[in-house]
Chain A
Amino acid sequence: MLAEHTDEQLLELALNRNEEAFTALYRRRQGPVYRFALHMSGSPQVAEEVTQDVFVFLLQRGRDFDPQRGALGAYLFGVARNYVRRAMEKNYTDATTLTPAEDDDPVLVTEFDPMRDIARSQTSQAVWKAVLSLPEHYREVVVLCDLQEQTYADAAQALGCALGTVRSRLHRAHEMLARKLKNTAPMLAGFPGDAARCLS
Chain B
Amino acid sequence: MTCREFMDAAAELTPSQLLRIQTSGQSLAAHAGDCRGCAEWLKSHRLLGNALQTLSAATANAGASPAVEASVLRAFRAQKSAPKIVAMPEPAVRRWWQLSRAFEIGAYAAVAAALIVGAFLGSRLLHGRRAPQQEEQAKVVVAPVVPNSVPQAAPIAAEIPTRAAENAAEPAVREVSERERKRAPVSSAAKAAGATTDRLDYVAMMLCDPLMCSGEEHVVRMELPATTDGSTQQTVLADVVIGDDGLIRGMRIVN
Contact = CB atoms under 8 A, between A and B. Distances in A.
A181 B76 contact: no
Q: Is the interface of B mostly helix, strand, loop or mixed?
A: helix
A192 B61 contact: no
A39 to B, nearest CB: 7
Contacts, number: 155
A51 B68 contact: yes
Contact of B47 (A48, A56, A171, A189): A189
A83 interface: no
Nearest to B84: A17
A174 B64 contact: no
A167 B13 CA distance: 10
A153 to B, nearest CB: 14
A115 B56 CA distance: 19
Contacts of B47: 178, 181, 189-191
The size bracket of the interface on B is: 35 or more
A106 interface: yes
The size bracket of the interface on A is: 35 or more
Interface in A51-73: 51-52, 55-56, 59-60
A105 interface: yes
16 contacts: A19-B77, A22-B76, A27-B69, A31-B62, A34-B64, A51-B68, A59-B72, A108-B58, A109-B60, A128-B55, A174-B45, A189-B47, A193-B40, A195-B37, A195-B41, A200-B4
Interface of B: 2-4, 7, 11-12, 14-16, 35-41, 43-45, 47-52, 54-65, 67-69, 71-73, 75-77, 79-80
Given A31-B62, A48-B65, A51-B68, A124 B43 contact: no
Given A31-B63, A120-B54, A174 B48 contact: yes
Interface string A170-181: 110010011001
A189 B48 CA distance: 8
Interface in A110-152: 120-121, 123-124, 126-128, 131, 142, 145-149
Given A59-B76, A127-B55, A146-B14, A34 B63 contact: yes
